[in-house]
Amino acid sequence: MRAPRRRATARARIVGWMLLLTGLALAGSVAVTWAVLSARLDDQVGGELGHEAAKFRDHARRGVDPATGRPVRGVDDVLTGHLGQNLPDRAETFFSVVDGRADRRSPHRPPARLDRDAALVARAARATAPEQGWTDSAAGRVRYAVLPVRVAGDPRRGALVVAEFRDLERGGVTRATRVLAVSSAGALAAAGLAGWLIAGRVLAPIRLVRHAAERIGASDLTRRLEVRGNDDVAALARTFNTMLDRLESAFAAQRRFADDAGHELRTPITVIRGHLELMDDDPASAAETRRLLIGELDRMGRIVGDLLVLARADRPDFLAPGAVDLADLTVETVAKSRGLGPRRWRVAETAEVRVAADGQRLTQALMQLTANAVRHTGADDTIEVGSAVRGARVLLWVRDTGPGVAEEDAERIFDRFARAAPSGGPRAADAPDGAGLGLAIVASIARAHGGRAYVSAPPDGGARFVLDLPLTPLEALP
């Protein structure tokens, strides 16, 4: 029950992160848009004030009433004349202050009555030079300018107040920002949905792999994942299938190994049991039976030992590589093998080279080969052991002048428990029975060194068993 929860979390986590990052980016762009538009609006309002101030300055400088064309007589003339001429926009209002009191205002209704704002009126009455500022009104923030005016011969002080209702202008900015925010939220929701679907699609094959892996037990390794397309997920499925191939063949090999071993060990057990059942009290036959039983038990011991070697062959610690002098190895193999039987023992070629390999395992392989050669030859036959370097390969071989190996058996005899049919030669017929494990061990040792073992038929008869290994220089040693 835990696995599905974890899977859902993976999908949610991917989409969650995506939404968080996209959301932050969109919120940032909305905030920046709002700030930029607001700053532009403030600039615009400032510009508007400057424009109104310039118009008023022009008007005051001319000093004539624009309606009648006559020179003005007092500050109220200047101010009223200007107010009559200049009509404010929707978000503006103008009014005049004369002698500390609000005097006239622009004809249409302003968004808020600033001429009733005592603080603003007092500030306008005090002003001796143009000034600007911010104030609050019933219609929001207001930016205003106070433009004082004097007329020669008139002791009164007057001022024009120009006010811009910034918050009324701001509606456009707010609307634009809101549209952007709403469409961003929509885009975010759409991205979330799309992300959820895409994450689902991407994770689905992984879920399939997991389901398949759950169904596959050691007892049923035949199932495979369906590989569709050519993307990373397909590659994952293919890798998974290759792993299953390897597992399946490894399990099959293990099973065969156990079957073969069991089968092969049953024979000596049956033999031993039969002899024990038939044993009588005659001391002579008891001694004979004892000899037979010990022989059978030795054979069993050898088979078990060989099986252990084969079982270890796939493990990384099967080899203990070191420096091996191939010439010494060749000569010593012949010296050791002489004890196996009187043959014409020869050292063929020797490779005068030291390589990185497991000398004991190589000796073990060559001794298996010389033991086989002895079993299949007679006293007049020749057995020669040789080594050579051919390019980047090292060859080690044992050659005998016995009956040789039939072509159809040449590959098979390297299998576990495989024995060739007796080739009819007198020597082969009376040779003792082997278990058929020797050449399998030879092949394993060659494989562990990265090479292979094979048998060839020399033109002048007999058999030549070869270990063909890559030449590993001493520097390769750890």
Ligand X SMILES: Nc1ncnc2c1ncn2[C@@H]1O[C@H](COP(=O)(O)OP(=O)(O)OP(=O)(O)O)[C@@H](O)[C@H]1O
Stretch that binds ligand X, among 168-176, 243-251, 268-276, 366-374 (CB under 6 A): 366-374
* 81 or 438: CB nearest Mg ion: 438
Asked if 146 and 131 count as a contact pair (C-beta separation under 8 A), the reply is: yes
Binding to Mg ion (CB under 5 A): which residues in 412-471?
Answer: 434, 438
Separation of alpha carbons 470 and 321, rounded Å: 14
The counts of H helices and E strands in the chain are: 10, 12
The answer to whether 400 contacts ligand X (rule: CB under 6 A) is yes
Positions of E strands within 138-223: 140-151, 154-165
Q: What is the per-residue binding string for ligand X in 10-49, x denoting contact by CB under 6 A?
A: ----------------------------------------
Asked if 327 and 355 count as a contact pair (C-beta separation under 8 A), the reply is: no
Q: Min. distance of Cβ 397 from Mg ion in angstroms? A: 16
Among 143, 402, 469, 471, binds ligand X (CB under 6 A): 402
- In DSSP terms, 138 is beta-bridged to none
Q: Min. distance of Cβ 416 from Mg ion in angstroms? A: 12
Binding to Mg ion (CB under 5 A): which residues in 158-177?
Answer: none
Q: What is the per-residue binding string for Mg ion in 111-140, x denoting contact by CB under 5 A?
A: ------------------------------
CA distances from 250 to 70, 116, 215, 224, 264 (A): 117, 98, 19, 16, 21
Asked if 433 and 303 count as a contact pair (C-beta separation under 8 A), the reply is: no
Among 30, 112, 237, 373, binds ligand X (CB under 6 A): 373
User: Taking the mean position of all CA atoms in its chain, how far away is CA 142?
Assistant: 60
* Among candidate residues 110, 146, 154, 144, the one with its CA nearest the CA of residue 125: 146
Residue number, nearest CB to Mg ion: 438
The answer to whether 438 contacts ligand X (rule: CB under 6 A) is yes
Separation of alpha carbons 165 and 139, rounded Å: 7
Stretch that binds ligand X, among 60-68, 159-167, 187-195, 416-424 (CB under 6 A): 416-424
Q: Min. distance of Cβ 411 from ligand X in angstroms? A: 11
The answer to whether 402 contacts Mg ion (rule: CB under 5 A) is no
* Among candidate residues 112, 108, 94, the one with its CA nearest the CA of residue 149: 94
* 340 or 348: CB nearest Mg ion: 340
Q: Min. distance of Cβ 465 from ligand X in angstroms? A: 7
Please spell the DSSP secondary structure of 51-84, one letter per residue: HHHHHHHHHHHH-B-TTT-PBP-SHHHHHHHHHH
Token pair of 260, please? 């073969």
CB proximity list for 32: less than 8 A, separation 6 or greater: none
Token pair of 236, please? 């994952």
Radius of gyration over every alpha carbon of the chain, rounded to an integer in angstroms: 53
Separation of alpha carbons 257 and 310, rounded Å: 9
The answer to whether 436 contacts ligand X (rule: CB under 6 A) is yes
- In DSSP terms, 49 is beta-bridged to none
The answer to whether 420 contacts ligand X (rule: CB under 6 A) is yes
Three-class SS state of 348: coil
Q: What is the per-residue binding string for Mg ion in 274-303, x denoting contact by CB under 5 A?
A: ------------------------------
The answer to whether 413 contacts ligand X (rule: CB under 6 A) is yes
Q: Min. distance of Cβ 378 from ligand X in angstroms? A: 12
The answer to whether 435 contacts ligand X (rule: CB under 6 A) is yes
* 48 or 260: CB nearest ligand X: 260
The answer to whether 419 contacts ligand X (rule: CB under 6 A) is yes
Question: Which parts of this chain interact with Mg ion (CB under 5 A)?
Answer: 372, 434, 438
Question: Which parts of this chain interact with ligand X (CB under 6 A)?
Answer: 306, 368, 372-373, 376, 400, 402-405, 413, 418-420, 434-440, 463
